[in-house]
Amino acid sequence: MTRPYLGNPKYTIEVLQKYNFAFQKRFGQNFLIDTHVLEKIIASAEITKDDFVLEIGPGIGTMTQYLAEAAREVAAVEIDNTLIPILKDTLKDWDNVTVINDDILKVDIRKLALEKNKGCPIKVVANLPYYITTPIIMGLFENQVPIDSITIMVQKEVADRMQVGPGTKDYGALSLAVQYYARPEIVANVPPNCFMPRPKVGSAVIRLERYEKPPVQVKDEKLMFRLIRASFNQRRKTLVNGLKNSQELSFDKETIEKAILACGLPLTIRGEALTLEQFAQLANMFSEKQGS
Ligand code: SAM
């Protein structure tokens, strides 16, 4: 039986040469060439033979080989059609992998989960193309895809942003969105020499374990996220001014001030100082005012 072999740089180079493959910068192609990192990703994702796994951007199939070994079934979505014949070759020893040649942002993942996993929660594992990290993650969370966990390689700075709370410069709309839907945990820091070609930035593997129920109760989720965006769009301004100046909100100054005070917050506070709980409380306060 063939074991995953592509994590060894020697075989990666062989495959790239055999197919005369040219890396495409615009697709964020940095292939993993470190078996320890690959094993760490698979272990952190806690994949079992019951699992259906979605891989985003399989590249030449390096991580896909490991996923196919560990999971019941894998679907791998790759945008670059020059990689499709390569994947056919490198994955020929595993019969539980489907390669889909498409843009992940255009794939109906909910439908895929329904067809392949009877609508049960799926695991997402990927060494993500960094240029679309945020839209991919937000798409998975917001489009009601049944998700168990997402284990992904991202830019180190982005991983930090997902994990931090108020009082740090990295705290922002992404931190709050991720922490509303999932429990983030950075499981490894990965230096550039683990990839081919080497990226200019450091990377990290982060696991996002989806909550069954969000940790805060919000009557109007969309409103809460509008408040969050408005607060961080002008993060040096006070919360009052951030909300007042927002194009997405239409509350007058008096309503805003009343809501902030009713939450027990000072009018001088900046949005960047609020926790997820406080944003939820503020959103609920505005919902009440809209309803009254
Ligand atoms: N998984 C491989 C590995 O770890 O070696 C490759 C990871 S590489 C960082 C990102 C992969 O995502 C590339 O294969 C790239 O072509 C693919 N990709 C880029 N944009 C994509 C998109 N919109 N939809 C699907 N795949 C995409």
- Domains of the chain, CATH where assigned: 9-210 (3.40.50.150), 221-291 (1.10.8.100)
Whether residue 136 is predicted with pLDDT greater than 90 in this model: the reply is yes
Residue 130 CA: nearest ligand 1 atom is 9
Is 103 annotated in some ligand binding site? yes
Dist CA 88 CA 81 (whole Å): 12
Q: Which residues fall within 8 angstroms of residue 42, CB to CB, at 6 or more apart?
A: 63, 66, 67, 70, 125
Dist CA 93 CA 31 (whole Å): 20
Residue 38 CA: nearest ligand 1 atom is 4
Half-sphere exposure of 117 (CA within 13 A, CB side): 26
Dist CA 292 CA 287 (whole Å): 9
Angle between helices 133-142 and 173-181 (to 10 degrees): 40
* pLDDT, tens digit (0-9, with 9 covering 90-100), for 165-177: 998 999 999 999 9
For ligand 1, atom 5, the nearest C-alpha belongs to 31
CA nearest to 51, candidates 35, 33, 66: 66
Mean of the per-residue pLDDT values for the chain?
Answer: 95
Pocket test for ligand 1, best of 60, 74, 104 (most atoms within 8 A of CB): 104
The greatest distance separating any two alpha carbons of the chain, rounded to the nearest whole angstrom, comes to 70
Dist CA 105 CA 259 (whole Å): 37
Q: Determine contact, residues 76/102, Cβ cutoff 8 Å.
A: no
Q: Which residues fall within 8 angstroms of residue 58, CB to CB, at 6 or more apart?
A: 64, 76, 77, 78, 83, 87, 99
Global pTM reads 0.94
* pLDDT, tens digit (0-9, with 9 covering 90-100), for 11-42: 999 999 999 999 999 999 999 999 999 999 99
**How far, in Å, is the centroid of ligand 1 from the Cα of 76?**
10
Pocket flag, ligand 1, residue 104 (CB < 6 Å): yes
Pocket flag, ligand 1, residue 31 (CB < 6 Å): yes
Average pLDDT over every residue of 76-87: 98
**How far, in Å, is the centroid of ligand 1 from the Cα of 198?**
15
Average pLDDT over every residue of 75-90: 98
For ligand 1, atom 19, the nearest C-alpha belongs to 27
Q: pLDDT over 70 for what percent of the chain?
A: 99
**How far, in Å, is the centroid of ligand 1 from the Cα of 115?**
23
Dist CA 223 CA 288 (whole Å): 12
Looking at per-residue confidence, does 287 or 77 come out higher?
77
| pLDDT confidence bin for 291, thresholds 50/70/90 | low
